[in-house]
Structure 1
Amino acid sequence: MKFQGRSPRKRTGGRRRNFRKKKKHELGDQPTETRVGETSLKTVEARGNTEKVRAVTANTASVATDGDVVAAEIEDVEENPSNPNYVRRNIITKGAIVSTSEGRARVTSRPGQDGQINAVLVE
Structure 2
Amino acid sequence: MNHARSTKKRTGGRRRAVRKKRKHELGSAPTETQVGDQKLKTVETQGGNTKVRAVTTDVASVSTNGGVESATIEDVVENASNPNYVRRNIITKGAIIETDLGRARVTSRPGQDGQVNAVLLDE
What TM-score comes out, normalization by structure 2 length?
0.87
Q: Number of residues paired by the alignment?
A: 118
Q: Displacement of 1:65 after TM fit? A: 0.1
**Which residue of structure 1 aligns with residue 121 of structure 2?**
122
Is the 8 Å Cα contact of residues 55 and 116 (structure 1) preserved in structure 2? yes
CA 1:20–1:118: 2 relative to 1, 3 Å: same
**Which residue of structure 2 aligns with residue 101 of structure 1?**
100
**Which residue of structure 2 aligns with residue 91 of structure 1?**
90
Please give the alpha-carbon distance, in whole angstroms, between the structure 2 residues aligned to 1:20 and 1:9: 13
Please give the alpha-carbon distance, in whole angstroms, between the structure 1 residues aligned to 2:7 and 2:67: 50
Residue type of the partner of 1:6?
A: A
**Which residue of structure 1 aligns with residue 6 of structure 2?**
8
Please give the alpha-carbon distance, in whole angstroms, between the structure 2 residues aligned to 1:104 and 1:21: 46
Please give the alpha-carbon distance, in whole angstroms, between the structure 2 residues aligned to 1:67 and 1:58: 24
Q: Displacement of 1:106 after TM fit? A: 0.3
Please give the alpha-carbon distance, in whole angstroms, between the structure 2 residues aligned to 1:5 and 1:23: 16
Residue type of the partner of 2:108?
A: S
Instruction: State which structure, 1 or 2, has the greater radius of gyration over its C-alpha atoms.
Output: 2
Please give the alpha-carbon distance, in whole angstroms, between the structure 1 residues aligned to 2:115 and 2:59: 9
What TM-score comes out, normalization by structure 1 length?
0.87
Displaced runs of 4 or more, over 4 A = 14-17
CA deviations 1:50-103 (Å, max 9, x no partner) are: 000000000010000004000000000000011000000000000000000110
Residue type of the partner of 1:113?
A: Q
Is the 8 Å Cα contact of residues 36 and 57 (structure 1) preserved in structure 2? yes
**Which residue of structure 2 aligns with residue 43 of structure 1?**
42
